[in-house]
Amino acid sequence: MARILYAAFDRVPAPKGASRHIQAFLHGLVRAGLEVDACLLGSATDIEGARCLPCPPPTGHLLERALRFGQQVRRHAQGGHYDLIHFRSLWEGMELLRWPHSPPLIYEVNGLPSLEWPIIYPLLRKQPNLVDKLRVQEQALVRGVDSLITPSRQTAALLCSWGGQRIEVIPNGVHPGEWTVTGHTTRMPEILYMGTFSAWQGLTVLVQAFAKLPPPWRLRLVGARGKGEGIKVLALAQRLGVAERITLQPAVAVPVLARLLARARLAVAPLDGGERHRVQGACPLKILEYLAAGCPVVASRLPLVEDLVRHGESAWLVTPDDPDALTEGMARVLRDDDLATRLRIGGWRRAQSLSWDKAITRLLAVYRALGVEP
């Protein structure tokens, strides 16, 4: 039986899309017959049949924690006898790349610190040398590993421009049955957003757009938010006079999300048109989960979104960063029952073609190309 080390600088389990992605991959690899060890932030028990190695959460500021996690992963890798190592971030990758006797390395590229960190931490924009150093390390890692996988065509194009080879695009997926709510559910006058409150999610534009919709429409924002992010959203809502019609709810588990989507009239993904989406790319898991739940979707018209849905068939797409366009799009779907039904059915059908099972099949093909058979 082939033995795999899977490493991710992420907390698992957690009520976030990254955690659901990691758990789906671990489950699929174990089910395929591989012996899987996992290095994950803070996980002390086995997950999805994978054995979790001890990785005490490192301390210090973010960069210190990331570097220490990478060192932990390298120690585990050198202490085991692995046929392949699959990792998700720059930090463990650079440590593994320095190891001359490493087994084949797969770098799963979801986010790049050189592009994302200056958005999350604006003070980094005043330290261009650090950002440049991160980018140089990312490019070296992309060129040095044996294979690259990513959920986005835009990311694949960027990696190719950096000299990456053997790149496989494996879109995110869903377990459609998890998002099906049985029994009768009454649709409420509610618009739903779920996900992080990161700047690139477009929540400021969403609140501005929602403020132009009249009562009784309500907006529910469900997800993980960093310190101060929820306060900023509520402060904007108060200035616009709609705070009483907006509910902020912490991230919750899939069964609860499925029930919220079953009763919502509309789900939104107002992604911004910045560098993170136009250059790095992404595969927004929230959109797939909206579709699988049978909830009509209004989302930003971006190439990464158009890879997943078709305008007017499985979602309604609007110009990013434009509150008026978002208001018009939401109002159009809310007042046109026939359109909402068409999007609901078309979106659900599209979700069936983007299952985690299909993603695992493609991932196993990458493993086989590197000589690892289940």
Q: What would the two tokens of residue 231 be?
A: 């306060």
* In-domain check, residue 374: no
Provide mean pLDDT across the span 161-165: 97
* In-domain check, residue 36: yes
* In-domain check, residue 261: yes
Say if residue 316 is in the same domain as residue 224. Answer: yes
Say if residue 166 is in the same domain as residue 180. Answer: no
The CATH number covering residue 319 comes to 3.40.50.2000
pLDDT of residue 128: 86
- Domain span at 329: 176-352
Residue 339 has pLDDT above 70, yes or no: yes
* In-domain check, residue 31: yes
Say if residue 210 is in the same domain as residue 165. Answer: no
Between CA 219 and CA 242 the distance in angstroms is 9
Say if residue 163 is in the same domain as residue 215. Answer: no
The residues, ordered by sequence, that sit 6+ positions from 18 with a Cβ below 8 Å of its Cβ are 8, 10, 110
- The residue behind tokens 């068939």 is 313
Say if residue 116 is in the same domain as residue 137. Answer: yes
- DSSP E strands in 189-307: the ranges are 190-194, 218-222, 246-249, 266-269, 297-300
pLDDT of residue 276: 94
pLDDT of residue 191: 98
Say if residue 81 is in the same domain as residue 217. Answer: no
b/e 262-301 (16+ beta carbons within 10 angstroms → b): bebbbbbbbbbbbebbeebbbbbbbbbbbbbbbbbbbbbb
3-class DSSP state for residue 226? coil
Residue 231 has pLDDT above 90, yes or no: no
- Taking alpha carbons only, the member of 50, 83, 88, 47 closest to residue 66 is 88
As for how many domains the chain has, the answer is 2
Say if residue 148 is in the same domain as residue 292. Answer: no
* In-domain check, residue 239: yes
Q: How far is CA 107 from CA 29, 227, 371, in A?
A: 16, 30, 16
* In-domain check, residue 98: yes
Say if residue 183 is in the same domain as residue 68. Answer: no
pLDDT digits (tens, 9 = 90+) for 178-216: 998 877 677 899 999 999 998 899 999 999 999 999 999
Residue 105 has pLDDT above 70, yes or no: yes
Between CA 48 and CA 30 the distance in angstroms is 8
Provide mean pLDDT across the span 258-279: 96
Say if residue 140 is in the same domain as residue 180. Answer: no
- What phi and psi values does residue 354 have, to the nearest 5 degrees? -125, 60
What's the whole-number average pLDDT of the chain?
A: 94
Between CA 313 and CA 332 the distance in angstroms is 14
- Whether the CB-CB separation of 64 and 43 falls below 8 Å is answered with no
Provide mean pLDDT across the span 322-331: 98
3-class DSSP state for residue 44? coil
Q: What would the two tokens of residue 137 be?
A: 């390390």
- Distance, CA of 117 to chain centre: 16
Say if residue 225 is in the same domain as residue 290. Answer: yes
- Distance, CA of 292 to chain centre: 16
Say if residue 304 is in the same domain as residue 365. Answer: no
Greatest mean pLDDT among 15-19, 227-231, 342-346: 342-346
* In-domain check, residue 268: yes
Between CA 149 and CA 290 the distance in angstroms is 24
pLDDT of residue 248: 93
Instruction: Please tell me the pTM assigned to this model.
Output: 0.94
Residue 226 has pLDDT above 90, yes or no: no
* In-domain check, residue 311: yes
Provide mean pLDDT across the span 79-94: 96
Say if residue 146 is in the same domain as residue 202. Answer: no
